[in-house]
Amino acid sequence: MVYALDPSRPPVWRSPRALQFGVEAPDIVLEDPSIAEERMVAALAGGASRDTLRTIAAAGGAAPEAADALLARLSPVLAAGPRTGPAGLVVLDGAGPTAARILALLHDAGVDARAGLDDDDPALDGAEAAVLVAPYAVAPRRHQRWLRRDVPHLPVVFGDRAVHVGPFVTPGDGPCLRCGDLHRRDADPAWPAIAAQLHARPLPGESELACGAVSSVAAGAVLARRDGRPLPTGVAMRFDRRTLRWSEQRREAHPECGCLSPAAAPAPLVRARPGTATADGPWAGPADSRAATS
């Protein structure tokens, strides 16, 4: 395994006898590093194996175990190690500038991300995650195909006034998209009929500014999940296109959905999560859902 320093935490000298890692909020400060430690840090800047570091330590007059001690000390500022097993595919389910931007950002991060795959494409069965870009509401057939495959999926939904990113739907853990539709129906009985008219419409307000802001957050959520960083369950990010401000919104499972019930397990099509980005307005409960459709 090759170890390397995280480039976002550069080593800089605080003084001739103190080396810190990170600038604005230093993670680690090495006081009085030895010649061997200085050489190992220099090697880690470009990447080095444990055996290489042990050789460097010995050449600098230190015991080989000094390499192990330094790696343990610097673990918070080492770049993430290689993923265990092959990285899965990330599928972009949607079209347009925002979907293309998310795809490009994921490619830039080294992710195997693809768009335009048919529903019967065998590659979908090995998908690690999916990103759904939709106008106003996600059509049930779109999110159900990911629930059937037990694939986590992130909705990115453009509405009249705002864009919602999330929550990241993990089947069996937290609210799903069907939950969101059920909450909207409770607030407005006409919502199912309204939503059916919106599924195929163009994305509203897909400006260059909104596209850039939203795609960065969506790609960041996918990368965080791939790296094992925890994401809050049932939380969506809302980007207000008028104020250009982000806000968090908590969403809950709907009691009629059954997506979190063991009894619902044999029917993956009913695996939904509450208040996902199927709605286009702020989510704070039924009253806000009603206002959000205006």
The encoded tokens of residue 114 equal: 């693809």
Q: What is the mean pLDDT of each run of 10 residues along the chain (294 residues)?
A: 84 92 87 93 88 91 91 86 60 94 92 90 88 93 88 94 92 86 91 89 91 94 84 89 91 84 38 35 31 32
Q: Return the ∠ at Cα 111 (arms to 110 and 112), rounded to 5°.
A: 120
Whole-structure pTM value: 0.65
Please check whether residue 247 is in contact with residue 240, taking contact to mean a CB–CB distance below 8 angstroms.
Answer: yes
Please check whether residue 119 is in contact with residue 178, taking contact to mean a CB–CB distance below 8 angstroms.
Answer: no
Q: Give the pLDDT score at 134.
A: 94
Which candidate, 43, 74, 37, places its Cα nearest to that of 57?
37
- Where along the chain do its domains lie? 2-77, 89-292
Q: Give the pLDDT score at 158.
A: 95
- Intrachain domains 2-77 and 89-292 with the same fold: no
CATH code matching the domain that covers 2-77, chosen among 2.60.40, 3.40.50, 3.90.930, 3.30.450: 3.90.930
Please check whether residue 12 is in contact with residue 45, taking contact to mean a CB–CB distance below 8 angstroms.
Answer: no
Name the fold adopted by 89-292: Rossmann fold (3.40.50)
Distance CA 158, CA 144 (A): 19
Number of Cβ within a 10 Å radius of residue 125? 9
Q: Give the pLDDT score at 281.
A: 33
Q: Give the pLDDT score at 258.
A: 77
